[in-house]
Amino acid sequence: DGGITQSPKYLFRKEGQNVTLSCEQNLNHDAMYWYRQDPGQGLRLIYYSQIVNDFQKGDIAEGYSVSREKKESFPLTVTSAQKNPTAFYLCASSIGTFNGGTDTQYFGPGTRLTVL
C-alpha cells in the first residue's frame, strides 16, 4: 500500500528535551511538508522540501529543524527552543510538479506531541 507513515502516534516530552518525529512516504513524491495543527487555528506550515537535500522555512519554523537526506524521509526535530510545542503534527507529500500550487497534498495520520 502506498502512503505516508508517521511515528510515533503519541509522544511525550519533558521540557528542555529535543524530540524527533518521523515521516516516511513510499509514493515516490518529490515534495514533503510539515504542519502544526492547534485547535481553532487550522494548519500552519513549519518547513517544506521540494527536493532531496533542500528545504525551506514555512510560516512558523522557529524552534524546529528538518533534514531531507532521502527522498522518502523528512524527519522533524522539535527543539527545546520551541516555546509551546504541544500540538498535533502532520506530515504531507505531493508529487512536486513544476507548478507546485496545483498538486494535491497527501497527509499522514499525525503525531500528537505533549510536553509534560
State the distance between the two ends of the chain, measured CA to CA, in whole angstroms.
Answer: 35
Binding status of residue 104 toward another protein by CB under 8 A:
yes
The alpha helices in 5-113, defined as continuous H runs, are none
Nearer to another protein, 13 or 112 (CB): 112
CA distance 108 to 92: 6
CB of 6 to another protein, least distance (A): 8
Minimum Å distance from CB 80 to another protein?
27
Based on the shown chain and the rule CB under 8 A, indicate whether residue 58 belongs to the binding site for another protein.
yes
Q: Which one-letter amino acid corresponds to residue 1? A: D
**Residue 94 interacts with another protein (CB under 8 A)?**
yes
